[in-house]
Amino acid sequence: MNYQVGDTIQPFSLQNTDGTQINITDYKGKKVVLLFFPLAFSSVCTDELCSIRDNMKIYESLKADVIALSIDSFFSLKAFKAAQNYNFTMLSDFNKEVSDRFGVLSQDFFGMKGVAKRSAFVLDEQQKIIYSEILEDAGNIPDFKKIQEVLR
């Protein structure tokens, strides 16, 4: 399944950095920015997520929650979050089920298969996708200005 703008996502549950299952349905009634990123501790991923961290007040003012997802284990994500003082939820899609649903799995990320492509999705309060950006070049980051416009 590859979600498109206008689709309502199916519920999913993933582990956060503490190993606790977080269900996306807990965010119903809120706008959500879902950011898929390839791998913890890689340079572009660090830059991307530090940008979110440093601009979190903007997302809070737009009444949006930010959730970052990768195929890393929740143990790796916990260390990554602590090292960078990230101030948003991070979820482990270790089994790649959610990344597959969103159609963002790369078959060649520096020779690795099944790594999430850098992607951004914005969900409205009913969990319908109102913005989608899947980047083929992992060296690029999502258009955060456009995401903020959509959230307004």
Q: Do 114 and 98 touch, CB atoms closer than 8 A?
A: no
Tell the burial category of 6 from Cβ atoms under 10 Å away from its Cβ (0-12, 13-18, 19+). Answer: exposed
Q: Do 129 and 121 touch, CB atoms closer than 8 A?
A: yes
Q: Taking the C-alpha atoms of 124, 129, 54 and 46 in order, what is their torsion angle to the nearest 10 degrees?
A: 150
Tell the burial category of 53 from Cβ atoms under 10 Å away from its Cβ (0-12, 13-18, 19+). Answer: middle
Which position among 9, 14, 22, 45 bears the catalytic label?
45
| Residue 45 annotated as catalytic | yes
Q: What amino acid positions are annotated as catalytic residues?
A: 45
